[in-house]
């Protein structure tokens, strides 16, 4: 299985901050990477697919980049509704695997 | 837009079989553009992919669960289903269904507790 490692596992940030989350794959996955946002008690919501393509309806403050083994999710200006846990996921090969999550908390 | 909804018993006894159904609305499950997955999440933990199915019935399962999992599809009802046999407390989790390789959208999830 491909291991997905996210860092940091948690972070504290203020409203208006620029936040970057990193995801590293244990082997190359081209651009077959997705990012999700999950709020407590809710299902994950897709933000980005193909490493950098924004899902319909997702605000442009979210952006993704990377290819191969190293990827980033950036939130350009953190808003109160963005405090959540973020997961990356590879779909280059079976089984699809997820990172351990990054919890974004209010400073 | 496409919506998914999980349904099934919230409590299953150890050693029994967990059975869940995902109903797809707002779109046809029969499109071979997408496949349909089951994913689970134990409380406070990360996400684990269980398996997926195409409308043709073609399946792939997570090797970690393969011996206990069966996923089936009923195109006439626009539904696909999960069966997980010989459950233990370790199978207690919120179970989600989702569409496609990049998992969009997801159902709201359903909590299944394994307990006697």
Average pLDDT rounded to a whole number, residues B14-37: 94
A36, B96: Cβ pair inside 8 Å?
no
Nearest to B107 by CA among B19, B8, B24: B24
Compare all CA atoms of chain B with the CA of A85 and give the residue at the minimum distance: B46
- Can you tell me which residue has the tokens 């809710």? A42
Chain A residues in contact with B47 (beta carbon < 8 A): 44, 87, 89, 98
Q: Is B36 on the interface with A (CB under 8 A)?
A: no
- For A56, counting Cβ atoms within 10 Å of its Cβ (0-12 exposed, 13-18 middle, 19+ buried), the class is exposed
pLDDT of residue B31: 77
pLDDT bin (cut points 50, 70, 90) of residue A96 is very high
Compare all CA atoms of chain A with the CA of B1 and give the residue at the minimum distance: A56
State how far the Cα of B24 lies from the Cα of B35, in Å rounded to an integer: 12
Query: Roughly how many angstroms between the first and final C-alpha of chain B, as a whole number?
Result: 39
Average pLDDT rounded to a whole number, residues A38-49: 97
Shortest Cα distance, chain A CAs vs residue B101, angstroms: 6
pLDDT of residue A1: 96
What is the average pLDDT score of chain B?
A: 96
- Residues of chain B with pLDDT > 70: what percent? 100
Compare all CA atoms of chain A with the CA of B37 and give the residue at the minimum distance: A96
pLDDT bin (cut points 50, 70, 90) of residue A39 is very high
pLDDT of residue B32: 75
Q: Most A CBs within 10 Å: which of B104, B105, B109, B110, as the mutation test of the A interface?
A: B104
Average pLDDT rounded to a whole number, residues A63-82: 97
Alpha helices, H only, A28-85: none
């Amino acid at each position: 299985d491909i291991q997905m490692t996210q860092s940091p596992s948690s972070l504290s940030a203020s409203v208006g901050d620029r936040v970057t989350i990193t995801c590293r794959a244990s082997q190359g996955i081209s651009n077959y990477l997705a990012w999700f946002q999950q709020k407590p008690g809710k299902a994950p919501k897709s933000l980005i697919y193909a490493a950098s393509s924004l899902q319909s309806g997702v605000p442009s403050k979210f952006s993704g980049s990377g290819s191969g083994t190293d990827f980033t999710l950036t939130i350009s200006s953190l808003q109160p509704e963005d405090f959540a846990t973020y997961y990356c996921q590879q779909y280059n090969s079976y089984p699809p695997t997820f990172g351990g999550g990054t919890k974004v908390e209010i400073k | 837009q496409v919506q998914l909804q999980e349904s099934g018993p919230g409590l299953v006894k150890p050693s029994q079989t967990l059975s869940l159904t995902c109903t797809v609305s707002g779109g046809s499950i029969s499109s071979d553009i997408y496949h349909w997955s089951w994913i689970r999440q134990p409380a406070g933990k990360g996400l684990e992919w269980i398996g997926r199915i195409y409308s043709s019935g073609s399946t792939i399962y997570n090797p970690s669960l393969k011996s206990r999992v069966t996923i089936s599809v009923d195109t006439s009802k626009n539904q696909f289903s999960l069966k997980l046999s010989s459950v233990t407390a370790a199978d207690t989790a919120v179970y989600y269904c989702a569409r496609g390789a990049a998992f969009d959208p997801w159902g709201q999830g359903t909590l299944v507790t394994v307990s006697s």
